[in-house]
Amino acid sequence: MSGLCQEVPQLAKAMILLIDVFDKYAKKDGDADSLSKGELSDLLKAELGEFTSASDKENVDEFFNQLDADKNGTISFPEFMVFTATLTMLIQGLAMKKMK
């Protein structure tokens, strides 16, 4: 999938990237359809880093509980997308505040 990235428009590229990131971490334990808490923790640390306070252990627990909307103990792709969209809106809101 990543090989396609050169000719696709920017937003489509971002979407493919989201799918790629989810897939990269979700498949670590053999179940590629969902993120376990450990996988989510790795993803947050590696892909968001200092951008959020998500890498702290307590925050990972809190993130996980909030993200796991259906409370089945794993994060599905739709649940991950809700998180990503929410976080993106939050960041956009902060950016707008700074510009004022």
Structure tokens at 29: 């334990």
Write the secondary structure of 12-33 as one string of H (helix), E (strand) and C (coil).
HHHHHHHHHHHHHHHHHHCCCC
Q: Which residues are CB-neighbours of 15 under 8 A, at least 6 positions away?
A: none
The CB-of-27 to Ca ion minimum distance in angstroms stands at 6
Closest to Ca ion by CB, 13 vs 18, is 18
The CB-of-39 to Ca ion minimum distance in angstroms stands at 5
Q: Mark residues 15-54: x for contact with Ca ion by CB under 5 A, - for none.
A: -----------x--x-x-----------------------
